[in-house]
Chains A and B, each alone.
Chain A
Amino acid sequence: MRRSFDRAHGRRQEHGAYLLMLLPTFFTLCLFFYYPAGTALYYSFFDWDGENAWFIGIQNFVDMWFDPVLHISLVNLAIYVVLSLAVGLAMPWLGAELIFGLRRSSWRSFFQFSFLVPTLVPGIVVILLWQFMYDPSLGLLNAALETLGLGERAMLWLGSPKTALYCFVGIGFPWVSGTSVLILLSGLNAIPTSVHEYARLEGVGAIRRAWEIDFPFLVGQIRLLAITGCIGLMQSFGLQLILTLGGPGTSTMVPGYHMYLNAFSYDRLGYASALGLFIAAIILLLTVVTSRFLRTEEI
């Protein structure tokens, strides 16, 4: 009797200890995560200038439907995300296949580490260096065109509405991101050697091997890179803040930056909240679809 009382008492004390350990987590999570997230949902239905708020029902969402800038932003974002993902997956895959095919392990690690250099330089430095590469009068691209005798092809790059968005995609050329290479290489290394040995004996060419044999093994890695890449690309507007302010015109406008402007330049915080909710919903939807589309048994 006494013993079981002690045990129950002890267990309750242990509950207390564990919950105490979780206290800072839930305090921060509720105050700085779920509270603002809830606020965002709430103010999506308000006209809010940061101090006063008026309930306007679904008016913000109706406004979104008729907002031409948002429509352009969505098209820009789609182009930017699709192209960035395409090169951001294909090029590291190519790099990983090539490194994997090297005979000497010392060369394999040499390339593996060399491609990490851009990852180790702060992202802002990479962005500012590319801003310089694109500079119409001082930059490398126009200077290279000049040297090749193509001076008349010189462009404004980030300064022209025709090219600015594609310049964003071009940042990081040739896009062999070290991190993605590492992740894909770990996938390639996990393929049983007998599979590749068999393919070699059967005389399967490198490209067919990569597509028909390696790809199914890499689906897990590619899916993760696609999802994380997609989530990141769809929310970020750092390039707009630093390089173009969404311009020239609306040529590099994306929904995230539209939200930023509505919140901090136009004081339309309710509309900005609704935009945030809308973007978040698209991201969640795409995450689910991508996970289904590239389904695997095990990560």
Chain B
Amino acid sequence: MREGRTLEQVISPVVLWTLLLLTLIPFVYMLSFSVKDLGQFEHERWTVSFPFHWENFPAAFQAIQGYVFNSILVSAGAVLGVLALSALGGFAFARGKFPFKETLFYLVIGGMMIPGILYLVPKFILFREFGLMNTRWALWLPYWTEGQLFGIFLVRSSIEALPSDLFHAAEIDGASVWLRFRHVALPLIKPILATLAVLNVLFTWNDIIWPWLVLTDRSMMTIPIGLVCYRRSFLDLAGPIFSAYVIASVPLLLLFAATSRTFVRGLTSGAFKA
């Protein structure tokens, strides 16, 4: 279709490969260090060294398995709650006709606009007064509260985009509000909910500041906080630290491998949370 190779078409792949290699350098070294022992780390740091010390992995796993478990539990609980709240709330705002509907919706929109840093300190005091420090509720409750805002917004607009005849037909057949939600709306918004789930997994999995404040007990820590503690338990850098980084990266990579299409949709929809 196009004639010859322009300069641009020769240079582009070269630049892209360079950028990609530079991007991956830290991760390549992470893999390389994860199978080195102290001697290899000291003397053959920047090259591949044999034998590989796979025993770093069981050692690191032993130390951080609790954090991985906590993170999975926290993210799973957060996502389930956000999906439930968003689906119910979004449906009610999309299909319901009740007094003060738009006024109430402003509370949701307003929540999306208000930067979290405004109420970080009082939020912490509130959870401390409730005696929820070092519990999973201290993570789930704020994650539900904040995660549902964008969720309701997203679900509302996608249900409003559905033909309303669907709901009228169900209404004439005598389906209650709940049945219309359960059997008409819910099956149709599944892709949106999947997208929302990915977005929330990414956020809760990576959240640093809030868990840092409310989790001080090692047995409750999630991966980000736990890894920092694990890193600090070594005086110097060593193989198991990097094995721990690798292990901590696995769950999200697996999730991506299993749901790459949904995952990519979730990533890009995140940008629309403006």
Contact = CB atoms under 8 A, between A and B. Distances in A.
Indicate, yes or no, whether A interacts with B: yes
B161 interface: no
Interface string A72-92: 000000000000000000010
Interface stretch (A63-71, A115-123, A150-158, A211-219): A115-123
Question: Which applies to chain B's interface (DSSP): helix, strand, loop or mixed?
Answer: helix
Interface residues of B, number: 89
Contacts of B15: 94, 98
Interface in B115-159: 115-126, 141-142, 144-146, 148, 152
A57 interface: no
A284 B274 CA distance: 11
Which has the most chain A C-beta neighbours within 10 Å: B92, B93, B205? B92
B206 interface: yes
Interface in B167-209: 176-178, 181, 202, 205-206, 208-209
Given A36-B126, A179-B267, A28 B119 contact: no
A169 interface: no
A106 interface: no
Interface of A: 11, 14-15, 17-19, 21-22, 24-26, 28-29, 31-37, 39-40, 43, 50, 91, 94-95, 98-99, 101-103, 107, 111, 113-126, 128-130, 132-133, 135, 138, 140, 143, 173-174, 176, 178-180, 182-183, 186, 206, 221, 224-225, 227-228, 231, 234-238, 241-242, 256, 259, 263-264, 269, 272-273, 276-277, 279-280, 283-284, 287, 299
Interface of B: 2, 8-9, 12-13, 15-16, 19-20, 22-27, 29-30, 45-46, 84-85, 88-89, 91-93, 95-99, 104, 107-108, 111, 113-126, 141-142, 144-146, 148, 152, 176-178, 181, 202, 205-206, 208-209, 212-213, 223-224, 227-228, 231, 236-237, 245, 248-249, 252-253, 256, 260, 264, 267-268, 270-274
24 contacts: A14-B97, A19-B98, A36-B126, A37-B118, A95-B19, A101-B8, A101-B12, A111-B16, A111-B20, A116-B267, A117-B24, A124-B227, A124-B228, A125-B245, A132-B26, A133-B26, A140-B46, A228-B271, A231-B115, A236-B209, A238-B209, A242-B208, A272-B121, A276-B117
A289 to B, nearest CB: 14
Contacts of B19: 91, 94-95, 98, 115, 174, 176
A135 B237 contact: yes
Given A32-B123, A186-B268, A280-B118, A22 B92 contact: yes
B271 A259 contact: no
Contact of A182 (B8, B26, B248, B268): B268
B131 to A, nearest CB: 15
A238 B210 CA distance: 10
A60 to B, nearest CB: 12
A284 B115 contact: yes
A112 to B, nearest CB: 8
Contacts of A91: 19
A224 B268 CA distance: 11
A228 B121 contact: no
Nearest to B251: A122
Contacts of B248: 122, 124-125
Contacts of A17: 176-178
Contacts of B117: 234-235, 256, 259, 276, 279-280, 283
A122 B205 contact: yes
A35 B227 contact: no
B111 A124 contact: no
Contact of A15 (B98, B119, B146, B213): B98
B152 A25 contact: yes
A26 B85 CA distance: 10
B9 to A, nearest CB: 7
A197 B224 CA distance: 48
Nearest to B264: A182
A279 B145 contact: no
Given A29-B107, A102-B16, 20 more contacts: A11-B97, A15-B96, A18-B97, A21-B177, A29-B148, A39-B119, A98-B16, A118-B23, A119-B202, A122-B252, A123-B208, A124-B206, A124-B228, A128-B245, A143-B46, A176-B20, A180-B271, A206-B8, A224-B271, A264-B124
